[in-house]
Amino acid sequence: MKKISISALIVSLFLSTSLFADGHGEVNIFNARHYKADAELYDKFTAKTGIKVNLINGKSGALEKRMIEEGSDSKADLYITADAGRCGAFDAKGMLQGGLTSAAIKSAVPKNFRTNKWVGIAKRARIIYYSPERVTGAELSGMTYEGLADPKWKGRLVIRKSSNIYNKSLVASLIANNGKKATAEWAKGVVANMARPSEGNDRAQIMAVAAGEADIAVANTYYLALMLSGKKGAEQQEAAKKVKAFFPNQDGRGTHMNISCAALVKGAPNKANAIALVEYLLTPEAQEHFTNNTFEFPMIGGVSPSPLVVNNLGLDFKQDLTTKVSTYGKNQAAALEVMTAAGWK
């Protein structure tokens, strides 16, 4: 049986007396996370509470456009999406409201991963993948995100386009820590080190390293586990076996962390049920469902990542717990500006 820590037990006790214990009615989720496992989790919530979950699935941009256009007529209660930068930018448009402040939520989610309008429900790290055949331990020793601009990596790096939200949030975090001017110079160095123009998704970057097209890549942690699981086919499974993971900035602030987030939409017609659902997503049961199906890191204490993650990426790494993820949305425009100016396509 999996051990549950005292902190997770406390969260469970909070939740046992929370809103969802007396649930009724429905809750409408505008959902930009496209995992079958998420729908299964919402079914479990309905079975426990009697609260019907209505899923409106779509891409983040289309869902946000719809909610903005519908305005006060929107039926959206929660907006669930990947990346704090998206939630922060949507909040800046005046589309969210406060209310995610219950004792259960506060005790479950560290301050740097939440606001009163949106909270993290799972974590992910954006890290470096490398070829153990072509990259030495000495080259990686003390490696940081800042080090991606080091000329020693010239012609050896692959990373997604500047328009990618994960990259915008990573660069936004660098702006928060190092300032815009230094980050602009860094972006020029990154572009100079690219093995090819940016193309493809995160899995494509890992595949490029496996194929020998590059020596290092930047991608989110859960993609390697997804590939190793075989869910994306034998070719990607074999490619994933040819790379190793490295967590940057271990001697400093720690590895860049991001979240999947649940945001409370302004004017939500079922606000109480929406809060109840967020509380449920932070229970050990729900967190284990996330980790074992989407390969993300748990938000709460006392829950282990998937064995695929632990065995292939490791468990003991220093996370950046000082940079607030709310800065990702605030610095998003500046991040895109410095990447574009550097010629990052």
pLDDT confidence bin for 47, thresholds 50/70/90: very high
φ, ψ of residue 8 in degrees (nearest 5): -65, -35
- What is the domain partition of the chain in residue ranges? 6-123+258-305, 125-256+324-341
Considering Cα of 269, then 271, then 272, then 273, what sign does the dihedral take? positive
What gap in Å lies between CA 294 and CA 296, rounded to an integer? 6
Neighbouring residues of 273: CB distance < 8 A, sequence distance ≥ 6: 19, 20, 23, 25, 26, 27, 51, 77
pLDDT at 247 over 90: yes
Report DSSP state, residue 187: H
Rounded distance between C-alpha atoms, residue 306 and residue 304, angstroms? 7
Q: Are 266 and 72 in contact (CB under 8 A)?
A: no
Mean pLDDT of the chain: 93
Q: How confident is the model at residue 24 (pLDDT cuts 50, 70, 90)?
A: confident
In this predicted model, what pLDDT tens digit does every residue of 259-312 receive, in sequence order? 999 999 999 999 999 999 999 999 999 999 999 999 999 999 999 999 999 999
Topology match between the domains 6-123+258-305 and 125-256+324-341: yes
Class of domain 125-256+324-341: alpha beta
- CA 249, CA 334: separation in Å to the nearest integer? 22
- Rounded CA separation 301/306 (Å): 14
The pLDDT score that the predictor gives to residue 269 is 97
How many angstroms separate the CA atoms of 23 and 31, rounded?
21
Reply yes or no on whether the pLDDT at 334 is more than 70: yes
Residue 337 tokens read as 């500006």
d(CA 109, CA 122): 10
Domain 6-123+258-305 maps to which CATH number in 3.40.50.1970, 3.40.50.300, 3.40.190.10, 1.10.10.10? 3.40.190.10
How confident is the model over 232-253, as a mean pLDDT? 97
